[in-house]
Structure 1
Amino acid sequence: MKLPDITPTANPTLAAALDQAINNKTKPLGSLGALERLARQLGLIQGRTVVTIEHPAILVFAGDHGIVAEGVSAYPKDVTWQMVENFLADGAAINVFARQNGCALHVVDAGVDHDFGPRERLLDRKVANGTRNFAIEPAMSAAQCADAMVHGAALVAGLPGNVVGFGEMGIGNTTAAAALMHKLTGIPVAACVGAGTGLTPDGVLHKQRVIEAAVERHAGVDAPLDVLATFGGLEIAMMAGAMLQAASMRKVLLIDGFIVTSALLAAARIAPGVLDYCVFAHCSDESGHRRMLDALGATPLLQLGLRLGEGTGAALALPLLHAAANFLGQMATFESASVSEKSA
């Protein structure tokens, strides 16, 4: 699998021009806070001082996980395909939030253990009927992981617009994400594991022990692609490939919660330049997400106590991208508005 080339966004001349454009708006210096930093990042990604948000889309990747056989989820595996049906029927939170914000929504079957049949609104990129149980054997073969990444890249390559948000659905995927977090950051498993869909404290401890035993079983696995194949999910691998492709096309990556960030963590270990293109929507309430964001040097836009997934945080953060682009392009300068600047 050939990985796409990602160009760093660093450009001192453009950065200085963006700072000047932002600072000359009719406001005290720095008074728009995170929106100013976001506008600057958008400008560096798009390579200009006037930026646009065009045809934003959210991709929701769904897949099943063999690790659920170890009793790591409060919900049965069937909830994965049932929630995909809910997405297709416009009944989920992500449907509501994407619609209210004028964002296209695409649902992708990356590896659900269910036969949906031909469906007009479902993008069938099924690599397998879920992963294998990584407590016993690698979740994916190297070929399956590569296939998933290639499918993700192709999906993004075919999208219009310049903003891609990422969401997911997959019973058991917080276990995969926690294992990836531990392997790729070295943070202790206990600090990576959370309640997921609603485990009790005893359930969380069991989940931790399952991951610790799996990590010991696969002790020799260290390279990022190998870690992704061994502990990840088909939807997580597909997101990682999609993220690398989006960055190579200079699109904005709108990163959702714990599982999406674990996919980015894998992508960033493969190609660190992808981080230049990432806007982190929020910090979720899933235990471990804050520490994963810290490991990536990320500052999230929102903290709403979310832990739903589906791309909901990405959809809720989208208006802030519009606000950053609009103030940079439409707000008057001191000179154009004939407003006196601060005296020296």
Structure 2
Amino acid sequence: MTTATERSASQHTPPPVAVTMALPEIEPTGDAQLDHTLAGMLSKPYQPRRALGRIESLASQLARIQQQGETGFGSLSFQFPQAVVFASDHGVADEGVADLPQSATLETVRALLDGEAHTNRLAVQHGFGLTVVDAGVATHVTPGQDSPVSAQLMQRKIGYGTRNMLLSPAMSGAQAVSAVNAGMDVVKHLPGNVLAIGSTGVAGHASASVLLSRLCGVPLVDALGQDGDLDETKQQSRSEKLFAALTRHRKATSPMDALASLGGFEIAMMTGAMLQAASERRIILVDGFVAGAAALVARGMSPNVDDYLVHTHRSHHAGHRLLLIHMQAQPLLDLDIRAGEAVGALTAWPLLQSVQTLLSEVPGQTIPEVQLP
């Protein structure tokens, strides 16, 4: 049953936002000779070809990112790894398209800032700096407790949540550009050469689903999947409302226009963060479906960014599985993780450390010592 609001949304289609902006230059990393050299480094005469499976593919990707001009590749170096969680609220949450109340966004942010979230513990375990970026939380956010496990707060609020995409574009063109630029600026102020990118925000999955549908042509019902936390009536209502939003913004087909019309401030900032990190040849650990949607937008804007993206896990969300298929990406883990906030990215980190150890086992180098507790 279509409501009056949905009929109004679909009948009055605004022109596309038509957003353009300057992008940083991103170098491709492809190097067939380096791939061949690494394959030889990892092969053993007593093992079958490609004995390490996709570990070899990961090794090649990381080495290609870190090779530098004529000096080539020596060994993997992970310097001052950073985890960044972008937080924002979505106006479309007013339509009941999420399984949590909007207040859950602020509760998650507070847990991160006070050192009480899973992410805090994993960041400490793996030696990551942890930052929460207020991209557009619907309320004011203050810094957390001053303790070694607390996340640092960066204030980059574009607005107090996006507008309801069912009634208007989620962001104006200027807001979308500001959010992407803010994401770039966040990365410029962070040290290191590894960046784990995650997010939190109620209705973020709804935004990711409509972006996947628009940019990849995936039927919305498939992009949404079945949410076990919503009953059949609520799932039907969610599908109808988000389909009305897609219909309203049917002319927003470019990555940036779709981002402005259907995205969120945190998705826009993650897009900018990925573009900037790739331009600085950082390794980018992509966490979950919402961060994956930002990766989809970033790749649409600058295809070379794809070379720097390590998709760390496949979440429980059906849309995330389809997104990975369309990006031709093989995630490192498949654990049905439902938590956001870079939990999956940090959980996958030991795999990259294993690759670092394997690539150190070459003439003239030694395997790093393992410090026991």
Tell me if 1:19 matches 2:50.
no
Measure, in 2, the Cα distance between the counterparts of 1:195 and 1:92. 27
- Please tell me the residue identity of whatever aligns with 1:97: L
Task: Give the alignment partner of residue 64 of structure 2, picking from 44, 54, 58.
Answer: 44
Identify if the C-alpha distance between structure 1 residues 132 and 272 changes in structure 2 by more than 3 Å, giving closer, same or farther.
same
Does the residue aligned with 1:279 lie in a helix, a strand or coil?
strand
Same amino acid, percent of matched pairs: 39
Task: Give the alignment partner of residue 274 of structure 1, picking from 293, 299, 305.
Answer: 305
Measure, in 2, the Cα distance between the counterparts of 1:195 and 1:228. 24
Q: Deviations over 1:141-187 (max 9, x none)?
A: 11101111111111112221111011101011111110100000000
- Please tell me the residue identity of whatever aligns with 1:42: L
Partner residue in 2 for 1:57? 82
Task: Give the alignment partner of residue 9 of structure 1, picking from 17, 29, 54.
Answer: 29
Measure, in 2, the Cα distance between the counterparts of 1:37 and 1:59. 25
- Please tell me the residue identity of whatever aligns with 1:250: R
> How far off its partner does 1:332 sit?
7.2
Tell me if 1:129 matches 2:160.
yes
Identify if the C-alpha distance between structure 1 residues 78 and 324 changes in structure 2 by more than 3 Å, giving closer, same or farther.
same
Tell me if 1:32 matches 2:52.
yes
Which range moves more in the overlay, 52-61 or 138-147? 52-61
Task: Give the alignment partner of residue 87 of structure 1, picking from 106, 109, 112.
Answer: 112
Identify if the C-alpha distance between structure 1 residues 86 and 118 changes in structure 2 by more than 3 Å, giving closer, same or farther.
closer
Pairs within 5 Å for 1:68-79: 68-79=93-104
- Please tell me the residue identity of whatever aligns with 2:326: A
TM-score (norm 1): 0.92
- For the Cα contact (< 8 Å) 1:166–1:239, is it kept in 2? yes
Measure, in 2, the Cα distance between the counterparts of 1:196 and 1:272. 32
- Please tell me the residue identity of whatever aligns with 1:272: P
> How far off its partner does 1:199 sit?
2.4
- For the Cα contact (< 8 Å) 1:174–1:196, is it kept in 2? no
- Please tell me the residue identity of whatever aligns with 1:98: A
> How far off its partner does 1:330 sit?
2.9
> How far off its partner does 1:87 sit?
0.5
Which range moves more in the overlay, 220-229 or 189-198? 189-198
Partner residue in 1 for 2:198? 167
Partner residue in 2 for 1:179? 210
Does the residue aligned with 2:162 lie in a helix, a strand or coil?
coil
Q: Deviations over 1:59-104 (max 9, x none)?
A: 0000000001111122211111121111111111111222222211
Which range moves more in the overlay, 120-129 or 24-33? 24-33
Measure, in 2, the Cα distance between the counterparts of 1:321 and 1:31. 17
Measure, in 2, the Cα distance between the counterparts of 1:125 and 1:25. 54
Measure, in 2, the Cα distance between the counterparts of 1:287 and 1:12. 34
Measure, in 1, the Cα distance between the counterparts of 2:233 and 2:38. 51
- For the Cα contact (< 8 Å) 2:134–2:141, is it kept in 1? no
Pairs within 5 Å for 1:100-139: 100-117=125-142, 121-139=152-170
- Please tell me the residue identity of whatever aligns with 1:314: A
- Please tell me the residue identity of whatever aligns with 1:277: Y
Partner residue in 2 for 1:342? none
Give the number of aligned pairs.
335
Measure, in 1, the Cα distance between the counterparts of 2:188 and 2:264. 21
Task: Give the alignment partner of residue 356 of structure 2, picking from 307, 310, 325.
Answer: 325
Which range moves more in the overlay, 218-227 or 124-133? 218-227
Partner residue in 2 for 1:341? none
Pairs within 5 Å for 1:148-297: 148-194=179-225, 198-297=229-328
> How far off its partner does 1:54 sit?
1.7
- For the Cα contact (< 8 Å) 1:131–1:233, is it kept in 2? yes
Identify if the C-alpha distance between structure 1 residues 29 and 137 changes in structure 2 by more than 3 Å, giving closer, same or farther.
same
Measure, in 1, the Cα distance between the counterparts of 2:119 and 2:362. 31
> How far off its partner does 1:285 sit?
0.5
Measure, in 2, the Cα distance between the counterparts of 1:73 and 1:273. 33
Query: What RMSD in Å do the two structures reach over aligned CA positions?
Result: 2.0
- Please tell me the residue identity of whatever aligns with 1:238: M
- For the Cα contact (< 8 Å) 2:43–2:51, is it kept in 1? no
Does the residue aligned with 1:266 lie in a helix, a strand or coil?
helix
- Please tell me the residue identity of whatever aligns with 2:80: H
Q: Deviations over 1:102-151 (max 9, x none)?
A: 21111110000111246692110001101000001000011101111111
Does the residue aligned with 2:207 lie in a helix, a strand or coil?
helix
Partner residue in 1 for 2:10? none
Does the residue aligned with 1:15 lie in a helix, a strand or coil?
helix
Partner residue in 2 for 1:98? 123
- Please tell me the residue identity of whatever aligns with 2:108: M
Partner residue in 1 for 2:330? 299
Measure, in 2, the Cα distance between the counterparts of 1:227 and 1:96. 35
Does the residue aligned with 1:212 lie in a helix, a strand or coil?
helix
